[in-house]
Amino acid sequence: MNIYSSNLVLFLGTLLITLSACGQQNADDKMINNNIAEVPAILKTEQAWKSLLSKEQYAILRQKETERPFSGKLLYNNKKGIYTCAGCGSELFNSDMKFDAHCGWPSFDNEISGNKIKKIEDRSHGMIRTEIVCSACNGHLGHLFDDGPTQSGKRYCVNSLSLNFKENIQKTPYDTITLGGGCYWCVEAVYEKLDGVIDVVSGFSGGSVANPTYQEVCIEKTGHAEVVQIVFDPSKTSATEILQVFFTVHDPTTYHRQGADIGAQYRSVIFYHNPQQYKIARDLVDEFNKKKVYDNPVLTEIEPFRVFYAADEEHQNYYMNNSNKPYCKMVIQPKLDKFEKIFKDRLRKKSH
């Protein structure tokens, strides 16, 4: 055999070995429908991923871990926009695909077209499931189930930390108002159910200390009140309705107190963001006192808004995450029941 024949045999042998290897798949990591796995468009070293992502994002996107249920910031996000891969920015879902599956993780009934999500058979933990990963960077997103409530029958169960959110710019500008009506857990729970409310954030306002902690506010050293900052769509609700709900679900006649919650941080206060809100609030209070709607005078303070400080994450969506706790059952639930009875035609419609 001459040198050229030897090289030809060596080449053919190498080619056969290569083709055989490409045809093999790990039993725990097979592409669904026998699709050949494509090389991801974005390749980085693990060190590069670690520098790009937070510690928690790296654990989920690169190491396939799972965040705690009901802990993700995007779980209750109701804004309109696009959900992108937190690793590479690829657009994966839009807000119209999102629904509340009551499972503890953001859920979607479809994906943006373009094969942006890969499905992989997952046999980990003694189960057979369908893992979903970003096609562009191979970042772990979550799992796909066939128990969705919509026509697609699908439920994309996704880790919140695997996603980023890009809000759409609305033609109709949203409005914002800041209200204090006792414990912000109570007030937040009510407005999260009102149709037209886009976002509700619990926090502090009206004091003199920057970035106060919950503990500092509780000992009345900051001058702040516990408040909720409400972003709403004026085409679906109004400042008038927002305030009608406000005066329905708390007692505006008690000084620095709501039930057993006593202190200046629990005062009844409206922080108006524009002259129209001031006029609506002033007219309502004057009318209530003139007609003696309450047994005692309305003591609600009406002040111009200056600054708002959001409370820690553990205080956000408190009722949704802790509805079985005694305070939620004994204090918050009666307020919700009253609101839902009086404003039953104005409740936010559940997704799907």
150-191 confidence digits (pLDDT tens): 889 999 999 999 999 999 865 668 999 999 999 999 999 999
Instruction: Establish whether 88 is a catalytic residue.
Output: no
Q: How many helices (H) and strands (E) does the chain have?
A: 10, 18
Distance (Å, rounded) from C-alpha 86 to C-alpha 247? 41
CA dihedral over 147, 124, 131, 17, signed as positive or negative: negative
Instruction: Establish whether 218 is a catalytic residue.
Output: no
What homologous superfamily does CATH list for 26-167?
Peptide methionine sulfoxide reductase. (2.170.150.20)
The pLDDT value recorded for residue 32 is 57
Model confidence at 4: pLDDT above 70: no
Instruction: Please give the mean pLDDT across all residues of the chain.
Output: 86
Q: How many CB atoms lie within 10 A of CB 140?
A: 23
The pLDDT value recorded for residue 309 is 94
H helices of 67-183, in order, are none
pTM beyond cutoff 0.85: no
The pLDDT value recorded for residue 20 is 33
Distance (Å, rounded) from C-alpha 162 to C-alpha 54? 11
CA geometry: angle 158, 160, 166, nearest 5 deg: 105
The pLDDT value recorded for residue 190 is 93
Q: What pLDDT band is residue 63 in, cutting at 50, 70 and 90? A: very high
Model confidence at 3: pLDDT above 60: no
Model confidence at 235: pLDDT above 50: yes
Mean pLDDT of 209-217: 91
Choosing from 157, 186, 218, 328, which is the catalytic residue?
A: 157
Mean pLDDT of 132-156: 94
Q: Which residues of 203-225 are buried (b: 16+ CB within 10 A; e: fewer)?
A: bbbbbeeeebebebbeeeebebb
Q: Are 301 and 181 in contact (CB under 8 A)?
A: no
Residue 34: phi and psi, rounded to 5, are 60, 25
Q: What is the pLDDT of residues 272-326, one digit of tens each?
A: 999 999 999 999 999 999 999 999 999 999 999 999 999 988 889 988 888 899 9
Residue corresponding to tokens 């090289």: 7
Percent of the chain with pLDDT over 70: 86
Q: What pLDDT band is residue 42 in, cutting at 50, 70 and 90? A: confident
Q: Are 218 and 262 in contact (CB under 8 A)?
A: no
All CATH 3.30.1060.10 domain ranges in the chain, comma separated:
175-346
What is the identity of the amino acid at 335? K
Distance (Å, rounded) from C-alpha 132 to C-alpha 83? 15
All CATH 2.170.150.20 domain ranges in the chain, comma separated:
26-167
Mean pLDDT of 71-84: 93
Q: What is the pLDDT of residues 5-38, one digit of tens each?
A: 444 444 344 433 333 333 333 434 455 544 444 5
CATH class held by domain 175-346: alpha beta
Q: What is the DSSP string of 198-209?
A: EEEEEEEESSSS
Choosing from 183, 186, 218, 328, which is the catalytic residue?
A: 183
The pLDDT value recorded for residue 40 is 56
